[in-house]
Structure 1
Amino acid sequence: MGALVDGVGDAGDGADDETRAGARPAPDGHGAGDASARDGHRTGDPSAPGPSASPGAPSGAGSVSGARTARESVRSGAALSALGAGYALQTLGIVAGNAALVVTGAVLGLLTDVVMQRGARRTAQRLGRAQFTPSARQLLRDALLVGGLGALGVVRAGSAALLLGALLGCWALHFVCQAVAGAVRARRQLPVVTRNIDASALRLSCAPPALFSTRTTLRLACVSALTTAGMCGTAVVGDPVWAQAAALCCCAGLLAGAGRVATWLLPGKRVADEAEALEWLERWLAEYRPTIGMYFSGGNASAYQANMWLSTLAELEGRPLIVLRERFMVQKIDTTDVPILCVPKVSHLMRLEHSTLKVLLHPSNSGKTSQVLRIPTLKHAFINHGESDKLSSCNPYAKAYDQVWVAGQEARERYAQAHVGVEDKDVVEVGRPQLAPIEAAGTRPVGHRDGYLTVLYAPTWEGFTDDPGNTSVVVAGEHIVRALLADPQVRLLYKPHPMTGTVDPRAGAADARIRALVEEANERRGGPPPAPEAVAALRRASARLAALSRDAYGPHADEVERMLRQPAPEPGRARAVAEARRAWEEAYWAALPAGRHCVVTGEGPGLYCCFNEADLLVSDVSSVVSDYLSSEKPYAVANTTGLDEDAFRAAFPTVRAATVLGPDGSGIPELLRSVRHPELDTLAAARAALKLRLLGPSQPSSLVRFDRAAQALRRQAEERARLVRARERRPVDAEGEVAAEREQERGQALADALGEDERP
């Protein structure tokens, strides 16, 4: 099915563009921040090596990741062998006086270098760490070629000097071009990065030509190909003019390119300097007058933590703003109409103190959070990126905020029991406003997709701690998936967490094996292809979504050009993209062959869309369970903690209304039977009660409660500012009163000395 949705994502060759940010991730929640790590919604492509710790794993389960590692080793060995063979052939040709060997070795080495940049990048990186960079490898080839031409008697003293001078000129101009490009990049790095903001006052301009600015490896490959071709031609025909002409042409091209890039340093093309940019920032803040913002700092795979709050932030009363700290994160944020401001330096961040911004919402903790907490004019609320029964949901860092906003009573009690320093008066229940798109149980009948029972397996990742039961992927994942796939009327949606395998290689290996199981099950199931009408509808929906969400800049634009191409958007753009995304997701499901299992990652449907598609959820103790519970549909939780079922339910309140599965996947047939026959479902009432405790009441709506909390916190910030202003005026007033009293005392002393009649 991957071919059906080509064009939805942003593909772009960024291999040589060292300044280009990653592709934008798909919207919505769980698994949304890892578009660069996993290809869309395709199944397979296991990539994480490592041993298995899963009990009872099949004998060939580790072969998928092992085969990938073996392929990488073969490619690496072949590349190194070909590279060495090229140098050996050149050397042998010089010694033997054989032009064919010299030419063959040079061509082999050049082709190997080009292929290695695509198919064996790890090998190229290892060679680079050993200082045997592409430049060094090409220099050695050129030296051997020139030596070969001399040994073969093709070039004489005069022509050899010209050729050598031209080649040295090529290399000198290559490095000059590199230096000029570096100066331009440094000059174009502004102290702030914006999106959805008109920053034209900063004299923004398009990026210089990528071939001469950022694509160093490609430029070197082009020059090397031309000079190598010229010298090989000289070696074959015996005329030095070919080598000289090629080298001189390269010199001319590099000189022109370096000169072209250097024009970006001229006054007419220079962007604003740091002082001008900061002055512009203060003016923009004064004009826009933001009142509430979301502050976010994180890594490549963490953007989903902020993206899940975009729709809520846009609906709040006032003027919203997104404040980021990492430059690459600007393009990781999903489509939104909210202005985005990235301020990397803490000294520049402090300028928010004098703005109208009063409240900052924090969906995650990070090392840079403490920097913004120092601004005294702001009030801070921790809103988290999901709630679960895990200890990580009650991080002691939360006591650094003015308030902690939680979904319901359960989370409030969790903080009280955790004793992490968060006082009950600072906990505010606001619900989960972003859960509004999740459909309630009964909206779609069970088995609505061709009669198959749709089961969503959405395990969490292994986390940074070694707590047992963090994830079911390693211990129970394969057993759960095998048990589900054994039912011929089950359709499985496997949606792994985007950070699976980033800490524990065993989790990555288990994830790869689960993907392989899904692939094998699809091959066994077979079935008719999707209807042509459904495929055509998906293509139309894909084209519509791509047209609305397509970036306005090229793949090699730098951040200044992206700022130029992403000014204040037209009103309603984000809403139109969201509607197109929903239409695409519905078309995606309709275009799948009947009963086809799916691995959903990256550009595939979002988590909440998978919730609506599923009849049953199987997950771990995580925020996924709490969110899914808003639908009141059946769910199961894998117990891999080592606790018995009663202790497990007591320790994790979100499990109270769940079916508990053991590490071996036992109990799944009975669970599936209860979903197919609602009269056997004994946990429906428990789910409704637990939903109230976890997510709060349905009226007033969560968005209303969230907005009320935001406005109340803003009023607190304004009251604090009023008190500070009053306190700052008090010393001046007191000083005036003291001066008046002293004047009165002097007058009284004079009257006493002169007497009543002589008083002036």
Structure 2
Amino acid sequence: MGCLFTLQFVGAQLPSAPILFIATGLGVALDLTLRRWQPGIIGALGRLHFDEAVRQLLRDLLVVLGIAHLSGIDTVARLLMVGGLLACYAAHFACRALAVLVRRSRTLPVVTRNIDTADLGLSPAPPRLLLRPAHRMPLLQVPATLGMLLTAVADRAIWGLLGVGTSLVLLSGCAAHLATWLLPGKRAPGEERTLAFFQGWLDSYRPDVGIYFSGGSGTAYQANMWLSTLSAVAERPLVVLRERGMVQQIAATDVPIICVPRVAHLMLLERSTLKMLLHPANAPKTSQVLRIPTIKHAFTNHGESDKLSSCNPYAKVYDQVWVAGPAARKRYAVADVGVDDRDVVEVGRPQLAPIRPWAGRPDPDRPLTVLYAPTWEGWTNDPGNTSVLLAGENIARALLADPRVRLLYKPHPMTGSVNRRAGEADARIRALIAETNAERAARSDRAGRGVRSERGSLATPPTATDTVAAEPARGRGEGATSAEDRAELARRTEELNRLTARVFRPGADEVERMMRQSAPEPGRAEAVEAAMEAWRAAFWAAQPRDAHLVLTGSRPDIYSCFNQADLLISDVSSVAADFLASTKPYAVVNTSGLSEADFRAANPTVRAATIITPEAPEIPALLAAVADPDQDTLADERVALQTYLLGPADPPSLTRFAEATRALSAEADARRSRQTRLASGDSDVELPIPRPSGHRITG
């Protein structure tokens, strides 16, 4: 870009019409190309205040300089051309100012999903070209630039005047069209009207139980895992968010979703019928909703493990802390962080219902499937948090070296977000898997050619190792990934995307998305669940049965991977605890530096696990024990630990969760009743003020 500007300057000063023409044309083409293919560079230039308007202005000034040196155009024509050019920039900046006003007018105090907003009279967003100057300026200024270049080459003012006039008409038209979004017909509703609508919706819908979530990009899974449970236990569920970008990250659901960014507007929930909120995560903005006294709050967390984050002192701000089983209750007691044991409620883990129980031995008709699901490095960057850094590659190599094994690698979605080295280690593990798959495919091809040829034509017989390794590869080519399976997966994917995908036109803003995402059709949730189950079956059927897989994204979900795995290798995280719902063998990697005895003592979750050290020498013996259940000495311990970590199987977790929901909602109702009686002057009200002894003060 710098070279092209320099060439423009040289062409204008020499003067040389060909150099000026070529350099300017290439400069415009480069700008448009970078905008399309390398937007990061354009963004960096903008942060340096060398944005699209400045770049185009510099180009046009150099062209004007070239015209002054190259042509004999009279003063009047030159003044008209320059004046028109300045008018183009005036129209451009007027459009930018209008874009700011339109964006502000379309930034609503409350954003919704799955709520009928017809009464608000929302309108579609303006075309993206009108709102984004980086798209508008280089493109609409092309006629003016081209016209002036032709004037410099042909020495005729008419081309420059026509080009500048065309750009002026286009830019002025953009500004005029954009201004219509500030007129009553298209203008978004104001704050007062939107809040009145929101309050009216709360009064008519009358929510009772909700989820409260605040978080950054990539954390939506923490709320998504509780959506099905919320739908099952609440009559009129609600999801309350605080970040606008999170609205579209929540998974497909029929539950009404509201996003209330400002605290003042969040306080409208105090006048609603909402009785309690579930909190899947601690967040700075959680303290804001805790100010609402009419709502009870239960901390459910998004997973339980032996990490310090699973007994965060912040948990004592909630009315209750809901945990899976006795292990978490003891974890809080041992941590001594101020959480009253009377406020800890054991509800199990309702989300684990889809996990199938262990059959007792691996399926002999398929390879031994190992799921390696390490956690991420965490905010503390402790080497003991994730095994990816110190042990990941060793574990992957040991598993990939065994021809019986099929590896499913599912890293935590936030891997590498804090520690760059963790991301690099993750990339190396993926490369190892790709390399092994390529080698297996090559061996399969060689084996296939050898089978098709006469036995006597083989120069040397395959070694025993080659033969064993080639068998799964040949199985892969013999139908495990048939055309029918792939077609079925494509069909199921299309069906699921149709039900769940939120596809909007380019340039759609939150108001347009809010308008399009009105109340869902009845039965959509059931249709999505059925489509998801069919997709899972089609996905696994379409995968080569011996190919190693790297699984990222939300599909397939971790519980679907559990059902495929014969063995889990993980870190100290909720993944290991959840996997115990199947009672299948599992292993936990110890990269903490502790001895095995101290590691087991510090982490009850690993009590029934095989402990793997960073060099991973334990892998061969572990695989042998999984393949032959007679060598599995931890089966009974896993069953006992399952109850300790996740609670009893009877009554079911969802039943216990529903009972806890009803009980805490009843406390919210009781408080409202007491406050109403107190406000009416009733002095005979029992006040629930706890003493250290547990007595209540009456009064």
- Give the structure 2 partner of residue 708 of structure 1: 659
- Deviation string 1:633-686 (CA, Å, 9 cap, x unpaired) is 111110000111111111101111111100011111111111111111111111
The separation in 2 between residues aligned to 1:201 and 1:378, in whole angstroms, is 28
What's 1:697 paired with? 648
| C-alpha separation in 2, matches of 1:535 and 1:247 | 55
Using the TM superposition, give the Cα deviation of residue 457 of structure 1 relative to its aligned residue in structure 2, in angstroms. Answer: 0.9
Which residue of 1 is the match for residue 425 of structure 2?
A: 510
Which SS does the other structure have where 1:557 is aligned?
coil
Q: 2:547 matched to 1:596? A: yes
Match for residue 111 of structure 1? 29
Is contact 2:315-2:321 (8 Å) kept?
yes
User: Corresponding residue for 1:39?
Assistant: none
* DSSP 3-state at the match of 2:575: helix
Task: Give the secondary-structure state (helix, strand or coil) at the position aligned to 2:94.
Answer: helix
Cα deviation for residue 539 of structure 1 reads 1.3
Alignment-mate amino acid for residue 511 of structure 1 = D
Distance 1:505 1:447 in 2: 40
1:230 shift after superposition: 2.7
Deviations 1:270-289 (A, max 9, x none): 23211121121111111111
Decide whether the 8 Å contact of 1:227 with 1:243 is kept in 2.
Answer: yes
2:523 corresponds to? 572
Find the counterpart in structure 2 of residue 307 from structure 1. Answer: 224
Q: Do 2:222 and 2:302's aligned partners in 1 also have CA atoms closer than 8 Å?
A: yes
Give 1:288's aligned residue.
205
| Correspondence for 2:13 | 95
Q: Does 1:411 align with 2:328?
A: yes
d(CA) in 1 for partners of 2:545 and 2:301? 38
2:387 maps to 472
The alignment partner of 1:258 has SS state of helix
* Counterpart selection for 2:347 from 410, 420, 430: 430
Equivalent pair of 1:231/1:243 in contact (CA under 8 Å): yes
SS at the partner of 1:360?
A: strand
2: CA distance between counterparts of 1:293 and 1:573? 20
Letter aligned with residue 420 of structure 2: P
Mapped pair 1:342 → 2:293: no
Q: In the alignment, does 2:160 pair up with 1:243?
A: yes
Pick one of 257, 260, 268 that aligns with 2:185: 268
Report matched runs for 1:391-406 at 5 Å: 391-406=308-323
Task: Give the Cα–Cα distance (whole angstroms) in 2 for the partners of residues 600 and 159 of structure 1.
Answer: 65
Q: Distance in 2 between matches of 1:116 and 1:389?
A: 48
Match of 1:198 in 2: 116
Q: Which residue of 2 aligns with 1:441?
A: 358
Question: Within 5 Å, which residues of 2 pair with 1:119-158?
Answer: 119-153=37-71, 155-158=73-76
Aligned residues of 2:362 and 2:627 also touching (Cα < 8 A):
no
Tell me the secondary structure at the aligned position of residue 370 of structure 2.
Answer: strand
Give the counterpart letter for 1:342 in structure 2. C
| Residue aligning to 1:682 | 633
Within 5 Å, which residues of 2 pair with 1:208-227? Answer: 208-213=126-131, 215-227=132-144
Render the CA deviation track for 1:512-562: whole Å, top value 9, x for unaligned. Answer: 111211221121111566311111111111211122123263232111111
Is the contact made by 2:386 and 2:571 (CA closer than 8 Å) also made in structure 1?
Answer: yes
State the 1:603 CA deviation.
4.9
Task: Give, in whole Å, the separation in 2 of the partners of 1:114 and 1:323.
Answer: 41
Summarize the Cα distance change of 1:232–1:588 in structure 2 as closer, same or farther, 3 Å threshold. farther
Distance 1:125 1:194 in 2: 30
CA RMSD of aligned residues (A): 1.8
Q: Distance in 2 between matches of 1:688 and 1:137?
A: 68
SS at match of 1:699: coil
Q: Give runs of aligned pairs for residues 285-684 of structure 1, distance below 5 A.
A: 285-442=202-359, 445-446=362-363, 451-526=366-441, 527=444, 530-551=481-502, 553-684=504-635
Q: Tell me, in whole angstroms, the C-alpha distance in 1 between the residues paired with 2:32 and 2:364.
A: 51
Aligned 8 A contact 2:142 2:167 in 1: no
How far is 1:444 from its partner? 9.1
Task: Give the residue type in structure 1 aligned to 2:654.
Answer: L
**CA distance in 2: counterparts of 1:257 and 1:276, whole angstroms:** 29
Give the deviation of 1:383 after TM superposition.
0.3
Q: 1:491 to 1:154 in 2, by over 3 A?
A: farther
Structure 2: gaps spanning 5 or more residues: 445-475, 686-699
Shift, 1:101, TM fit? 0.7
Question: Which amino acid in 1 is paired with 2:408?
Answer: L
Greater relative contact order (CA < 8 Å, ≥ 6 in sequence): 1
Q: Summarize the Cα distance change of 1:447–1:469 in structure 2 as closer, same or farther, 3 Å threshold.
A: farther
Distance (whole Å) between structure 2 residues aligned to residue 608 and residue 456 of structure 1 = 11
Contact 2:361/2:629, CA 8 A, preserved across alignment: no
Cα distance in 2 for partners of 1:140, 1:466 equals 47
Three-state SS of the structure 1 residue aligned to 2:518 is coil
Identity of counterpart residues, as a percentage?
55
- 1:589 & 1:154 partners in 2: Cα distance? 74
1:486 is matched by which residue type in structure 2?
A
**TM-score (structure 2 length as normaliser):** 0.90
2:187 match: secondary structure? coil
**Structure 1 residue runs without a partner (length 5+):** 1-82, 735-760
- 2: CA distance between counterparts of 1:226 and 1:600? 49
How far apart in 2 are the matches of 1:519 and 1:225?
Answer: 46
Q: For residues 223 and 325 of structure 1, what CA distance do their matches in structure 2 show?
A: 38
- Distance (Å, rounded) in 1 between the aligned partners of 2:624 and 2:290: 52
Question: 1:48 aligns to what?
Answer: none
Shift in Å, 1:347: 0.7
Q: Distance in 2 between matches of 1:237 and 1:581?
A: 65
The equivalent residue for 1:278 is 195
Question: For 1:723-743, what per-residue CA distance to the aligned partner results, in whole angstroms no more than 9, with x for missing partners?
Answer: 112222227999xxxxxxxxx
Counterpart in the other structure of 1:160: 78
Q: Which residue of 2 aligns with 1:40?
A: none
CA distance in 1, matches of 2:21, 2:503: 45
Corresponding letter in the other structure for 1:674:
A
Instruction: Find the aligned partners of 2:269 and 2:332 in 1 and give their Cα distance.
Output: 31
- Secondary structure of the residue that 2:389 maps to in structure 1? helix
- C-alpha displacement at 1:231, in angstroms? 2.8
Q: Secondary structure at the match of 1:664?
A: coil
Q: Is the 8 A contact 2:327 2:644 kept in 1?
A: yes
Query: In the alignment, what sits opposite 1:169?
Result: 87
> What is residue 692 of structure 2 aligned with on the other side?
none
Q: Once the 2 structures are TM-superposed, how far is the Cα of residue 118 of structure 1 from its aligned partner?
A: 4.3
Instruction: Give 1:225 deviation, angstroms.
Output: 3.1
1:369/1:432 Cα in 2 relative to 1: closer, same or farther (>3 Å)? same
Q: Letter of the aligned partner of 1:502 in structure 2?
A: S
Aligned to 1:60: none
Q: Cα distance, 1:114 vs. partner?
A: 2.4
1:460 is paired with a residue whose SS is coil
SS at match of 1:276: helix
Give the aligned partner of residue 18 of structure 1: none
Tell me how far 1:311 sits from its aligned partner. 0.5
What displacement does 1:120 show? 4.0
Maintained 8 Å contact 1:447/1:615 = no
Query: TM-score, normalising length from structure 1?
Result: 0.83
| 8 Å contact from structure 1 (residues 552, 565) kept in 2 | no
User: How far off its partner does 1:441 sit?
Assistant: 1.2
Output the amino acid matched with 1:493: L
